[in-house]
Amino acid sequence: MQPLGRYVQLGLALFILTTAACAGGASALGPAPGAAGVMPTVGPATSTPFPSPTPASSPPAAPMIDSCQVFPASNPWNTDISGYPVDPNSANYLAHMNASTKFLHPDFGSNPTYGIPYITVPGTQPKVPMTFTYASESDPGPYPFPSNAPIEGGAGSTGDRHVLVIDRDNCVLYETWNSHYVGPGWQAGSGAKFPLNTNALRPDYWTSADAAGLPIFAGLVRYYEVQEGAINHALRFTVHQTQKGFIHPATHYASSSTDPNDPPMGLRVRLKASYDISPFTGESKVVLVALKKYGMFIADNGSDWFITGETNTNWNDTDLDQLKTVPASAFEVVQTGPIIH
């Protein structure tokens, strides 16, 4: 049986929470953040998480985090697609993504509740038990999660609550969705491990911490890379409607739509070579150069043309606002592989 879409999963999770609350017991997902009389539990730190790395004097040829390369150079995330052919269905996909009326939107900025945070930890970081609502599509624990690992949106967030942790000594990425610290470990909706030295995908029809089954960290606009002057990988974005299908490296869909003009998860778009980016400056210019060379993948259902970056109070919001002037119609869909239904 095919896995349920993320919206269906969220609905089930909310049903579980509501049922447990009415019964006076704890839900399978732990206490609802912000519920009356209930505050998310955050224990003492077991190690000091590292902040964003200091930018190198010159950008590396491949995406890096500390001493770890973020997937091999041959990985789809790191592939130059500037010469890939345009998908024959590009115009229809773009119409269903409202490209004629939408603009790019950076879903990150200096506000500490924007974007998706991450930390790196040493290989000695204690690993703690993990429990998952969707255990059949999750990589089992333990995970090296400190009790105070940052949660997307903050400890009281009612959103996706992603947690991203990189073991910087063993070069393994760990990601969870709907994450709650319950002591001594964490409860999450789903979880995935990504060894950074391999191109191996998750099994077909498996989710990850992202609806498409993709790693989130790989597609973030990361502050230190922008400061180095180059992003050498594809980015991640969302659209409001997808179809019941995916294109590798995505491995999961989150829709019941069979409309062939709705975009599948893993669809890749690039900024047209003809689009003039010479007026742009600073952080925005670096992002747009990357979008012409590497493009971006549809990774989840959400607001149309929202691109994801790391949580970092150092972002220059005035600079990033330039991205909001780029029309979605300046993009085209490229061919990268067949749709798997």
Omega within 30 of 0 (cis) for the link into 249: yes
Higher-confidence residue of 22 and 201: namely 201
Tokens representing residue 29 in the block: 């997902």
pLDDT of residue 61: 80
> How far apart are the C-alpha atoms of 156 and 38, rounded to whole Å?
10
Cis amide leading into 142 (omega within 30) = yes
pLDDT one-digit tens code per residue, 136-165: 999 999 999 999 999 999 999 999 999 999
Measured between alpha carbons, how far is residue 75 from residues 62, 79, 250 in Å?
Answer: 11, 6, 13
Task: Give 78-91 pLDDT, tens digit per residue.
Answer: 999 999 999 999 99
Q: Residue 219 — very low, low, confident or very high, per pLDDT cuts 50/70/90? A: very high
Is residue 298 predicted with pLDDT exceeding 90?
yes
**For the segment 225-274, what is each residue's pLDDT rounded down to a tens digit?**
999 999 999 999 999 999 999 999 999 999 999 999 999 999 999 999 99
Share of the chain above pLDDT 70, in %: 83
- Kindly indicate the confidence band of residue 45, based on its pLDDT and cuts at 50, 70 and 90: very low
The whole-number pLDDT of residue 35 equals 29
Q: What number of residues does the chain have?
A: 341
> Is residue 250 within 8 Å of 297, Cβ to Cβ?
yes
**pTM reported for the whole predicted model:** 0.84
Q: How far is CA 255 from CA 33, 105, 216, 270, in A?
A: 27, 23, 19, 23
Which one is predicted more confidently, 133 or 56?
133
